[in-house]
Amino acid sequence: MRLLPVVAASLACMAIAGCKPAAQPAAQSPQAAGVSLSNARLVLPIISGDPAAAYFNASNGGDKPSRIASIEIAGAGMVMMHDTVTEGGKTGMAMMDSVDIPAHGSVTFAPGGKHVMVDGLSERMKPGAKATLTLILDDGTKVQVELPVETAASGQ
């Protein structure tokens, strides 16, 4: 019964003083803050124990650019964004701390370009399984998409 005065005071504050309820948590959906994800997949390595790779398209339908600050994948021990670069005739990977998605534009994570390196996969990550990829924007917004798990031989 001690909660009744607290509830009454909260309702009175909201009605009289214009108090606002607590902020809602950051959006968690396939589309949030104008950013949407499509064509997502997690490709297992050919050699067991090697890192897997995640690929997707990120589109920004908003009027302001967005920045991918980090990525999480359920069932993975480590996730890093990389880009494929060629310098001095040699091709390699460069780690990226963030990736910009221009307003009304998109960025593609695909073989031979930007990609997400995924290491320390759970034993449950087998072809046909699904994992959740969470893209975290620099403003804290979270955008999630389901990743089908595929083999490199699936040809996609």
Domains by residue range for the chain, with CATH: 25-154 (2.60.40.1890)
Confidence label for 16 from pLDDT (cuts 50, 70 and 90): very low
pLDDT at 15: 37
Mention every residue, 6+ apart, whose C-beta is less than 8 A from residue 32: 26, 141, 142, 143
Please state, rounded to an integer, the average pLDDT across all residues of the chain: 82
Report whether pLDDT(33) > 90. Answer: no
Contact 137, 28 (CB under 8 A): no
Q: What is the mean pLDDT of residues 103-131?
A: 95
**What's at 82, amino acid-wise?**
H
* Stretch 113-119: mean pLDDT: 97
Confidence of residue 132 (pLDDT cuts 50, 70, 90): very high
Residue 27 amino acid letter = A
Which residues are bridge partners to 84 per DSSP?
93
State the burial class of residue 57 (Cβ atoms within 10 Å of its Cβ: 0-12, 13-18, 19+): middle
pLDDT of residue 32: 55
Phi, psi torsion values for 81, nearest 5 degrees:
-85, 135
Other CB atoms within a 10 A radius of the CB of residue 153 amount to 10
Contact assessment for residue 94 and residue 83, using Cβ atoms and an 8 Å cutoff: yes
Dihedral angle, C-alpha 15, 20, 25, 29, nearest 10 °: 70
For residues 135 and 26, give the distance between their C-alpha atoms in angstroms, rounded to a whole number.
12
